[in-house]
Structure 1
Amino acid sequence: MKREKCTHVIAIASVSGGGKTTISTQLTESLQSSKILYFDNYDFEGPVDIIDWVDRGANYDEWNLTPLIKDLEGLLNESLDYIVLDYPFAYKHTKMSKYIDSAFFIDTPLDVAMARRVTRDFKHSTGEDIILEMKNYISYGRRGYLEMLKTIKANSDFIVDGALPILDIVNVISKKLGELNSK
């Protein structure tokens, strides 16, 4: 059930390191009358052990997204054309799904996403820390990535090739938004 409104809410989803933040930021800068909310700017109550959560069936409603929802509702009261959500869950969280008009999944190859994540999150770490993280990824963490591919990708309206250059990805999304607005 969609809301009756003028503001188009766009969710940009991907695996960790898939480009959500960069693409969301660039997209917001390219769209007129738009604002952005970043998932990582919040400290949500949710599963402590992500792999245990995945193994239990990955119920996205276990995440308390109330602070994000409150901020989104505030932006919906502004006169905006677009709200971009740097948001990994697409439509899978029941309370958030009613606000989203379009969900884009950035389908970034897992090796590229992992390389981005390591360069982003481990730039000041030792080689031993990086090796430990790679062992963790191989043993456990990859299941979290595969969960996103299985459920979030399948639950999104549009899949965009995450191997494309950032500006090309933004152009693909902008073009699709233009098509949606012309209907």
Structure 2
Amino acid sequence: MNTRPRIIAIAAVSGGGKTTITSRLNLELDKSRAIYFDDYDLEGPEDIIDWVDRGADCNEWNIDPIIIDVKNLIDTNDLNYILLDYPFSRLHDNLKAIDLTVFIDTPLDIAMARRLLRDFRDANTEVIINEISNYISRGRMGYERMLNKIKPNSDLVIEGSLPVNEIIRVIIDEINN
């Protein structure tokens, strides 16, 4: 008899390690598949900071493509786990059947440095300075508000400055318990 795979969502701020942790966890867990939020071109608010200022209602995002892929994985594969690199925890009304939500609590300075390294490696100094200025003037406030909304709605909160192997060990320990 087949049982439904456990759905595990990994959340963090941008640059917080969601993709890295999801990818590594996918390698460690037997019979698992990963779905990455950034692989989808989802319909959502045009102005993210305005969305956050209005309360960051996750239901304003159309996540139907993710839901379809989750259902397809449940229906067509013999999996133990479906891993979601997914920023909303259980806060979207259409995707609440998550068995474990993990929040990687990465200090915002580390997350910002990672974003700069990841997204602006080939950018000129002016572009990088503009990004940092936008972050200071509006972005950081948005990150802090998301921390206050997503983190308390997570089952497991892990310090994001820990080594990746340690974060994976903590998550696997939680799964096994």
Instruction: Please give the range of the TM-score, normalised by the shorter of the 2 chains.
Output: over 0.9
Measure, in 2, the Cα distance between the counterparts of 1:174 and 1:136.
Answer: 37
- Structure 1 ranges of 4+ moved more than 4 A: none
- Amino acid of the residue matched to residue 58 of structure 2? Y
Residue aligning to 2:153? 155
Question: 5+ unaligned residues in a row in structure 2: which ranges?
Answer: none
Measure, in 1, the Cα distance between the counterparts of 2:142 and 2:62.
Answer: 19
* Matched position secondary structure for 2:145: helix
The equivalences for 1:67-78 within 5 A come to 67-77=65-75, 78=77
The equivalences for 1:88-103 within 5 A come to 88-97=87-96, 99-103=97-101
139-148 or 61-70: bigger deviation: 139-148
Query: Is residue 36–residue 84 contact of structure 1 (8 Å, CA) maintained in 2?
Result: yes
Measure, in 1, the Cα distance between the counterparts of 2:39 and 2:5.
Answer: 22
Query: Is residue 9–residue 86 contact of structure 2 (8 Å, CA) maintained in 1?
Result: yes
Matched, 1:80 2:79: yes
* Matched position secondary structure for 1:105: strand
- Amino acid of the residue matched to residue 107 of structure 2? P
Measure, in 1, the Cα distance between the counterparts of 2:91 and 2:140.
Answer: 20
Size of the alignment, in residue pairs? Answer: 175
Question: 5+ unaligned residues in a row in structure 1: which ranges?
Answer: none
Measure, in 1, the Cα distance between the counterparts of 2:146 and 2:10.
Answer: 13
TM-score (norm 2): 0.97
Amino-acid identity (%): 53
Per-residue deviation at 1:55? Answer: 1.2
TM-score (norm 1): 0.93
Measure, in 1, the Cα distance between the counterparts of 2:125 and 2:176.
Answer: 46
Query: Is residue 91–residue 100 contact of structure 1 (8 Å, CA) maintained in 2?
Result: yes
Residue aligning to 2:103? 105
Residue aligning to 2:45? 47
Query: Is residue 4–residue 74 contact of structure 2 (8 Å, CA) maintained in 1?
Result: no
Per-residue deviation at 1:6? Answer: 3.2
Residue aligning to 1:117? 115
Query: Is residue 10–residue 100 contact of structure 1 (8 Å, CA) maintained in 2?
Result: yes
Deviation sequence 1:88-146 (CA, Å, 0-9, x none): 1101111011x211000000000000000010000010111111001000111112211
* Matched position secondary structure for 1:154: helix
What is the aligned counterpart of 2:58 among 54, 57, 60?
A: 60
* Matched position secondary structure for 2:153: coil
Measure, in 2, the Cα distance between the counterparts of 1:57 and 1:171.
Answer: 33
Residue aligning to 1:145? 143
